A and B are shown apart, each in its own frame.
Chain A
Amino acid sequence: KQEVTQIPAALSVPEGENLVLNCSFTDSAIYNLQWFRQDPGKGLTSLLLIQSSQREQTSGRLNASLDKSSGRSTLYIAASQPGDSATYLCAVGSGNTGKLIFGQGTTLQVKP
């Protein structure tokens, strides 16, 4: 059974710092991997989607990488801003049904 783990559970950094969020998964036979952002009490917003055949995706200050062989993905946030404060969730798609298996999330606080 696929299991997804995110470490750390919480992270606090000063504004302007570059940071990396980690996601690991137990079964390398994935269809895709997505990173989402969740603000308190809100739904999820998709940030980046990496297909199983891809190594990374970039959007603005965000870069996500995927290493299937080691069962790892990272989300790199450059020049962090207070507006980046949120919970970041990693989710693995196992098969073309579209089902996603989520990690527990990393709650990020960027201090001014």
Chain B
Amino acid sequence: DGGITQSPKYLFRKEGQNVTLSCEQNLNHDAMYWYRQDPGQGLRLIYYSQIVNDFQKGDIAEGYSVSREKKESFPLTVTSAQKNPTAFYLCASSIPGAAQGFRFGQGTRLTVV
């Protein structure tokens, strides 16, 4: 059964460190997304990619970077330039324009210590 997997589930970052969140899917979806969720708020789009080797900034891309070298993988790096990184990060994938198929991972909770 296909799905989308995020790891790790919990991540702790020291001040000034870069950390990378993993997102892997075996759904054969072309598009992948990274969202950030803060307490009591909806999801905000960080980056998205519609095809391998191409990605676009979302609404809150500053302090983050991504790569899309393989269709199955879309890792997110939270850099030291992101001043308030503590949040719940969600990865998703879809077939653009399809009637169904928007799937989310189980999330990574990042905490700055």
Contact = CB atoms under 8 A, between A and B. Distances in A.
Given A34-B102, A43-B90, A43-B105, A98 B31 contact: yes
Nearest to B95: A98
Interface string A26-50: 0000010010100001111110010
Contact of B106 (A42, A98, A99, A103): A42
Of the four ranges (under 10, 10 to 19, 20 to 34, 35 or more), the interface on chain B belongs to 20 to 34
A96 interface: yes
Contacts of A43: 6, 90, 104-107
B104 A103 contact: no
Interface of A: 4, 6, 9, 31, 34, 36, 41-46, 49, 51, 89, 91, 96-105
Interface of B: 6, 31, 33, 35, 40-45, 48, 50, 58, 88, 90, 92, 94-97, 99-100, 102-107, 109
Given A43-B6, A89-B43, 16 more contacts: A34-B102, A36-B104, A41-B109, A42-B106, A43-B106, A44-B43, A44-B90, A91-B43, A96-B96, A96-B97, A98-B33, A98-B96, A98-B102, A99-B45, A100-B45, A101-B45
22 contacts: A6-B42, A43-B6, A44-B90, A44-B104, A46-B102, A49-B100, A91-B43, A96-B97, A97-B96, A98-B48, A98-B94, A98-B95, A98-B102, A99-B33, A99-B48, A99-B58, A100-B45, A102-B35, A102-B42, A102-B44, A104-B40, A105-B42
